Structures are given as structure tokens and as C-alpha cells.
Amino acid sequence: MSLKQRDQKHLWHPLRQHHLHPESFAIVKAKGCILTDEDGDEYIDAISSWYTSVYGHCNDYIIEKTYAQMQQLDQIMFSDFTHEPAIRLSEELIKILPEGQNKIFFNDNGSTAVEAAIKMALQYHFNTDDKRNVFIAFENGFHGDTFGAMSVSGLSVYNGPFAEFLIDVKRIPTPDGENHDIVLNTLRNLSLEYDIAGFIYEPLVQGAAGMKIHDVDGLNAILAFCKEHKILTIADEVMTGFGKTGRHFASDHIETKPDIICLSKALTAGLIPMAITSCTQVIYDAFLSTDMAKGFFHCHTYSANPIACATAIAGIELLVSSEMQNNIKRISKAHEDFGRQIKDHPKVKSVRHIGVIFALDLNTETERYGDLRDQLLKFFMDRGVFLRPLGNTIYIQVPYVISDEQLKKVYQVIEEALEIV
Ligand SMILES: *Cc1c(COP(=O)(O)O)cnc(C)c1O
């Protein structure tokens, strides 16, 4: 029996209606930008396996560093112990994180990084005798699938069964460069009506919404307003972090810096799951007290797993290397040229790009997981490229190590796809 067939006996896949889509692609190997399936067919991973494997799959340098750590210290409880990989990772991260970040808290995945951020913001106000109970988030944002993260996510079409169990969140539109007054007025009115604990946002690029890019100055004005009103700002950089937008973090493009930052995905380069919630000294200080109950009682068993920390350190070493920085610039330039080339195509409604992220919207309207999307996914896979369209959006987020030739092939299959939609 093939893996494809055996899969269907006991496995339940995420984001799947198994009745309609019983079958999976069975991948047996990944190296650099290439995925190989059980029949030996190869695919270019043009979305870095959900934005994680940015230095290429099974990167030799990262594997070497991770393996060395595996032989030294595998796991230890982080509530009572500390270790060099966590300490070094905190030092290396603080060097590159946006100004103001000074404390590193560990989680296991993007959703729990957000969950911890939400709890930090609520408890910060609680500890400072300024109890607040409402969050603000962008329309169509995505922050994960646990309850807090699901609550702040605006992409809630699939959250129906849970709607009445979510925390209280009010939404504002993303700034588009023209709606400045509307956005700020909405925000001002909300802040008058409710006690707002925090504002959570995907800085500049809303990934799950289809790589929607919003306006830098508009976002900065929102953040400045929040600072003024003691609304804690939480930058969810789970997708945008570690070079995706051309800077180390998307927040580097924006003048007003966040109080709290959520990191995951490329943090551990696609090798091991881990996440971090970082914050400023001011936030941390609000938890210091002779009262135990003012501490932050949130913990995951694998917090600061030494192996994952070693992987993350190796990833940062690669990120800051001139080789990787040049790769990011090279891809960004190629995206710009490709965008210019296809933006006037009759099937293309709009194109956008920032750093290694490129997206185009088709003129055709379709459901997020509709037939067109399925048809396109298959079209790309049949031609040796893994792209995962969302609704009428086709987006690229290639590993930084992609060759010019591979990148050209990705563009080429997209152009070919425009002829069949
Ligand atoms: C993927 C993602 C999350 C959730 O991360 P998981 O590791 O899948 O739980 C949260 N926020 C953003 C912006 C993401 O892209």
C-alpha cells in the first residue's frame, strides 16, 4: 500500500474536510527548496512549508548545530533550571529584535505565543490596578487556533461552533493609505467606550488573509494612539519575522515599536517547533512583586527546549550572514520585476510584494477553499511547484536559498496558470 493509502486509515489532517479531500501528497524527503514524494517526483517548495524553512530544508549547518546540542543536553525543565542555549538565544535575539524588547518568554507554537501575549497584556493591567477586558484587532487578521488566538483572529469563517466562547474583541479596518480618519476615529470611539487592554496586529502583512499588505504610516498612527492610551501593542511577527519583509522584523519598517512580540515559524527554521513571546522591561517589571500571584503562571512542558534553542541560534547566524541578506535582496528584486511584468495581465486584478513575499489577486472571485483553489493547487503540483493559493490569491514565499532558475520556474507556472483561470 502507498503512503497515500495508509494515511487514510488513522490520520486526521488539519484544515481539511476529509469527506471532500481524502487524499494527501506523501513527501518522503526535503532538501534545500526541493520536496520529493513517494513516487520520486520533485516539487519546489515555493511557500517554505508555511513560512518556516527559509534557509532551505534540512540545512546542513542547522542540522550540525542541532545534532551537537542533542549530544550535550536534550531537555530540562525551564521553571527551575536554565541552560546555555536559552541564554545565548536570548542574547542573540535581543540584538536583532526591534528596539525596546528586553525579555524572552518561551512557548511551543505561534498560537501559544499569542496566547501568552494576550495573558501578559491582561495581567499587566490587572497587576497595575487598571483592569481592562477588551482587545482590538484588525479585520481579517489571523493569530492562531487556540481560544485566545482564535478570539483575536478576524478570519472567523470556520470558528462558528466556538463563537460564544471567545474573549471580547473589537475590530478596526487595516490602514490602506486612504482611510486614515475612519481607522483612527473607530479606534478613538472604541477607546472611549471600552477598557482596552491591548491591540494585536500582524505588522504590515496579513498572511492568512492572503498576504494583504497595509500602510506603514497608517499602522504607525494606530500604534502611536495606543501608546498614548496605555493600550499594549502586540506585534504578531509569527509569519513576518526573520527576514520575510526584507528587514529582520516587519516592525523594523515602523517607527513606533511594539510592547510585545510573538515569534515562531522561521524562528526554528522548519526543524523543530518552538515559539517566543518577547516584551519590554516595563511589561516584565509589572510582574515583579513579593506577591507570588503577580508572577506569570503560564508554562509549557517543553519551554526553552535546549535543542530547539540551538536550532534557533543557528538560524539567526544564517539570517544575519551577508549571504542570506543578499539572497533576500535578490528575491525581492526578482519579485519586483515579476510584478511589473504581469500586473497588466487581463486575469490579474492586483499584485503586491515586500521582501520575499509576493502575491497576486486574480480577477475571478472564489471561496477560500473553493474549486478554483483546488484546481490551481493541482495545476502547480503537476508542474513541480508547491504553491498554496487562498481564494483568488496566489502567493509566493520562497526559501531564501532558492536559485534563480528555481524562482524562474515558480514565476513561469504562475504565468501558465493565468491561461487556465
Ligand atoms: C501561523 C501563524 C500563527 C499560528 O501559529 P501556529 O504555530 O500555527 O500555532 C499565528 N499568527 C500568525 C501571524 C501566523 O502566521
Q: What is the pLDDT of residues 137-196, one digit of tens each?
A: 999 999 999 999 999 998 766 788 898 999 999 999 999 999 999 999 999 999 999 999
Q: Which atom of ligand 1 is found nearest the CA of 236? A: 13
Who's near 339: CB < 8 A, 6+ residues apart?
Answer: 351, 352, 353, 358, 360
Q: Which of 143, 244, 268, 272 to mutate to test the pocket of ligand 1 (most atoms within 8 A of CB)?
A: 143
Low-confidence ranges of the chain (pLDDT < 70): 156-157
Residue 221: the pLDDT is 98
Measure 342 CA to ligand 1 centroid, in angstroms: 30
- Model confidence pLDDT, tens digit, residues 352-361: 999 999 999 9
How many other β-carbons are positioned within 10 Å of the β-carbon of residue 289? 11
C-alpha cell at 251: 516592525
353 contacts 339 by C-beta, under 8 angstroms: yes
Measure 382 CA to ligand 1 centroid, in angstroms: 28
Beta partners for 386? Answer: 45
Q: What is the C-alpha to C-alpha distance for residues 390 and 254, in angstroms, rounded to an integer?
A: 27
Q: Which of 111, 146, 200 to mutate to test the pocket of ligand 1 (most atoms within 8 A of CB)?
A: 111
Measure 308 CA to ligand 1 centroid, in angstroms: 17
Residue 159: the pLDDT is 80
Q: Whose CA is nearest to atom 15 of ligand 1?
A: 239
What DSSP state is assigned to residue 417? H
Measure 14 CA to ligand 1 centroid, in angstroms: 13
Q: In the chain, what are the domain boundaries? A: 3-58+324-417, 73-319
- Mark out the alpha helices in 291-321 (DSSP H runs): 306-319
Residue 156: the pLDDT is 66
Q: Which atom of ligand 1 is found nearest the CA of 50? A: 1
Measure 296 CA to ligand 1 centroid, in angstroms: 22
Measure 205 CA to ligand 1 centroid, in angstroms: 13
Q: What is the C-alpha to C-alpha distance for residues 57 and 35, in angstroms, rounded to an integer?
A: 9
Measure 207 CA to ligand 1 centroid, in angstroms: 9
Domain 3-58+324-417 sits in CATH at 3.90.1150.10
What DSSP state is assigned to residue 297? -
Handedness of CA 324, 325, 326, 331 (dihedral sign): positive
Q: Is 204 left (phi over 0), alpha (psi -120 to 50) or beta?
A: left
C-alpha cell at 290: 513579593
234 contacts 121 by C-beta, under 8 angstroms: yes
Measure 109 CA to ligand 1 centroid, in angstroms: 7
Q: Is 198 left (phi over 0), alpha (psi -120 to 50) or beta?
A: beta
311 contacts 146 by C-beta, under 8 angstroms: no
Pairing mode of beta strands 134-138, 196-201 = parallel
Indicate the average pLDDT of the chain: 96
Q: Which of 15, 118, 238 to mutate to test the pocket of ligand 1 (most atoms within 8 A of CB)?
A: 238
Measure 113 CA to ligand 1 centroid, in angstroms: 9
222 contacts 187 by C-beta, under 8 angstroms: yes
Q: Whose CA is nearest to atom 11 of ligand 1?
A: 143
Q: Which of 114, 202, 244 to mutate to test the pocket of ligand 1 (most atoms within 8 A of CB)?
A: 114
Q: Which of 52, 205, 239 to mutate to test the pocket of ligand 1 (most atoms within 8 A of CB)?
A: 239
Q: What is the C-alpha to C-alpha distance for residues 260 and 57, in angstroms, rounded to an integer?
A: 29
Q: Which atom of ligand 1 is found nearest the CA of 109? A: 7
Q: Whose CA is nearest to atom 8 of ligand 1?
A: 110
Q: Whose CA is nearest to atom 6 of ligand 1?
A: 110
Measure 203 CA to ligand 1 centroid, in angstroms: 13
Q: Which residues line ligand 1 (CB under 6 A)?
A: 109-111, 114, 142-144, 202, 207, 236, 238-239, 264
* The CATH number, out of the four listed (3.30.200.20, 3.40.50.150, 3.40.640.10, 3.40.50.2300), of the domain defined by the range 73-319: 3.40.640.10
Residue 261 CA to its chain's centroid (Å): 11
Q: Residue 396: which H helix or E strand, with range? A: strand 393-397
Residue closest to 304 by CA, chosen among 151, 33, 116 = 116
Strands (E), 195-274: 196-201, 205-206, 212-213, 232-236, 260-263
